[in-house]
Structure 1
Amino acid sequence: MTREAAVSVTSELSPWAGRILRLPGVYGPQADSSLLAAAMGREGVGAGMDVLDVCTGSGALALHAARLGARVTAVDISRRAVASARLNASLARLPVRVLRGDLLSVVPDRSFDVLVSNPPYVPSASARLPRRGARRAWDAGVDGRALVDRICDAAPGALRPGGMLLMVHSGFSGPEETVGRLVRAGLSASVSERVAIPFGPVMRGRLPWLRERGVVPAGADREELVIIRARKD
């Protein structure tokens, strides 16, 4: 007799992403994804543009870019994320190319008009990034910048002249450092939007540690999300 392991699939409906399916451990669209999707619309992402979605997770932002008319490539290092994004693109009948790889290393010879990313950015007690499990979708080292810094460093080489980076991360992960790093890399950069939201379950679970380290002030009950906008002149 053969035994088959049942893998549950979560289904959720987003007002901007539509129906999204995801395997366990894959990050689904939340407030940060919605904030970035709105920024894509304001910045005119659309027809005729080549868009790269780095750390695509369920593929929600990649699908949003495709619906806006862009030609989209999506990347994630997680096998389950890649499978989820491919499934969602197929179900939505959108021509999104989904690749598995470590950030931009999987597209070394390509350039894009727009690079969007909602990377892992939550500070964690360990500098070692998880290699599996749900924490892989949000743990980002002790300062929350393990992936953010690498994307900042790689973005100039992946953007065409006039190209744009749109990235979302927490205000607890050093927005000013992100802007400075992008400027030093040769891009013009700024924080284009700030939105405060209540702490989610991951942040609530880490509040004692985050307050002990001085990252979150005592009594604070909200997290600021920021959109980083950078352009290659």
Structure 2
Amino acid sequence: MLLLRPPGVYPAQGDTDLLIEALRRERPAPGARLLDLGTGSGAVALAAAGLGTRVTAVDLSRLALATAWVNARAHRLPLRLRRGDLTAPVAGSRFEFVVSNPPYVPAARTGAPRHGIARAWDAGPDGRLLLDRVCRQAPHLLAPGGVLLIVQSCLADPAATTAALRRAGLRTGTVAVRTQPFGPVLTRRAAWLEQRGLIEPGEREETLVVVRGARPR
């Protein structure tokens, strides 16, 4: 799907494709309610809308939401867009599916960037600044039998994601895996990642996973 992606908005990449593949394997029923947390350009939200789901897409960035709106109009697909911090704009709602491609790249800074494209990937020294919040908040939005899909890097401890979702009462598993070469961001941080012991010396590949959590019916 051809999408507009202006500077400052996260482009669809390997993690986006992996999350879309995992969602398609779920075979959502037409009309199922789906929430996309951190929609960016709207790539995952539009793929979900193309499957016949009723999509609500949330992002903190006004530019990202404007981009998703333009992309939705260009592809004639309906999206319900909401601006805000993670689940805050949809508090009290319930969804059959929640999907998220949150920031997960380990970064030397301890907090999230306030502005700029780095806000789409920087996630604190362990890469879990947003992941932990998604794991705490998203399960409460699942309808009975609902499914949560989170894509992340193995550099950000998928086992911690699985454990957090289990504590929230979800049945969990890893449903998709992909190994790919480092992109520009990780390449620039390779020496720092080596110093932190997050990668082996000379390692320049990243493994992505999709963690699935299901709410019992």
Matched, 1:156 2:149: no
Structure number with greater CO (CA < 8 Å, separation at least 6) is 2
Give the superposition deviation at 1:48. 2.1
SS in 1 for 2:113: coil
Instruction: Give, in whole Å, the separation in 2 of the partners of 1:170 and 1:151.
Output: 15
Residue in 2 aligned with 1:214?
Answer: 197
Instruction: Output the amino acid matched with 1:214.
Output: G
* C-alpha separation in 2, matches of 1:221 and 1:147: 24
RMSD: 0.8
Secondary structure of 2:87 counterpart: helix
In the TM superposition, what is the alpha-carbon distance from 1:193 to its structure 2 partner?
Answer: 2.0
TM-score, normalised by the number of residues in structure 1: 0.91
Counterpart-to-counterpart distance in 2, 1:193 and 1:206: 25
Equivalent residue in structure 2 for 1:48, among 1, 19, 31: 31
1:177 matches 2:163: no
Gap regions ≥5 residues in structure 2 = none
- If you compute each CA radius of gyration, which structure gives the higher value, 1 or 2? 1
Aligned length: 216
Q: What's the offset of the Cα at 1:45? A: 2.4
CA contact (8 A) 1:27 1:57 kept: yes
Aligned to 2:15: 32
Unmatched 5+ stretches in structure 1: 1-17
Letter in 1 for 2:17: S
Contact 2:190/2:204 (8 A) holds in 1? no
Mapped partners of 1:131, 1:228: distance in 2: 27
Matched, 1:120 2:100: no
Q: Secondary structure at the match of 2:147?
A: strand
Partner of 1:6: none
**Separation in structure 2 between the aligned mates of residue 45 and residue 222 of structure 1, nearest angstrom:** 32
Report the TM-score, using the length of structure 2 for normalisation.
0.97
Work out the CA distance in 1 between the residues paired with 2:158 and 2:194.
19
By how many angstroms is 1:22 displaced? 2.0
Aligned residue for 1:107? 90
Structure-1 separation of matches of 2:29 and 2:53: 5
In the alignment, is the contact (CA less than 8 A) between 2:42 and 2:57 conserved in 1?
yes
**Aligned match of 1:188:** 171
- Which ranges of 4 or more aligned residues in structure 1 deviate by more than 3 Å? none
**Rounded Cα–Cα distance in structure 1 between residues aligned with 2:109 and 2:18:** 28
Q: Which residue in 2 is equivalent to 1:84?
A: 67
Specify the SS of the correspondent of 2:2.
strand
Question: 2:108 matched to 1:131?
Answer: no
**Cα shift at 1:46:** 4.1
> Is the 2:19–2:151 Cα contact (8 Å) retained in structure 1?
yes
State the 1:43 CA deviation. 1.0
Distance 1:170 1:150 in 2: 16
CA distance, structure 1, for counterparts of residue 6 and residue 150 of structure 2 = 24
Q: Any idea what SS the aligned residue of 1:66 has?
A: helix
